[in-house]
Amino acid sequence: MNGTHRHHLLQLVLSCRKITAQVTQPGTSTIIAMASSSEQEFLAQSRANLYRFPRSNNFWDSKTASRVGEKLGLRLRELGVDAVSIDAEEEISRPVHHRKRVFPLFDSVRRSGIRVDGTDQLNDVVPRD
């Protein structure tokens, strides 16, 4: 994607332990809103996943991603942001197991009343269960 975005840019930072969604100001890298699975409400579930047996390398799932998207959508609405863009090429380049788990985040942001531009390109490459 080129360096100029018409809307705020929604970016995801993924690791095996957490998912973070951040929205930056158009034309700059200033973060205006952020939501993460490392926030207080997710700590109990994270601890449970840490000590469960059999062990897993993944501490978040599509439900967690969806809840992070809800929180981000509410924060964007409070700021008066009505649309965000994603870098579809970046999302398509993610491993399939991550793509399947992050798509609910985009759906949750959209359900909160925020338009998410760029997700239409993902529909062809994201396997939906």
Q: What average pLDDT does this structure show over 59-71?
A: 87
pTM: 0.79
Which H/E stretch holds residue 83?
A: strand 83-85
Predicted confidence (pLDDT) at residue 113 exceeds the cutoff of 80: yes
Structure tokens at 44: 């109990």
pLDDT band at 5 (very low <50, low <70, confident <90, very high): very low
Euclidean distance between CA atoms 96 and 74, whole angstroms: 28
Computed over every residue of the chain, the mean pLDDT equals: 82
* Best mean pLDDT range from 31-40, 42-51, 97-106: 31-40
Task: Look at phi and psi of residue 117 and say left if phi exceeds 0, alpha if psi is from -120 to 50, else beta.
Answer: beta
Predicted confidence (pLDDT) at residue 72 exceeds the cutoff of 80: yes
The confidence score (pLDDT) of residue 109 equals 96
More confident residue, 77 or 1: 77
Q: What average pLDDT does this structure show over 72-90?
A: 94
Residue type, position 58, single letter: N
Q: What average pLDDT does this structure show over 41-62?
A: 66
Cα 111 to chain center, whole Å?
A: 13
13 bridge partner residues: 20
Place of tokens 């059999």: 54
Give the rounded percent of residues in the chain with a pLDDT score beyond 70.
Answer: 77
The confidence score (pLDDT) of residue 35 equals 94
Phi first, then psi, for residue 4 (nearest 5°) are: -105, 125
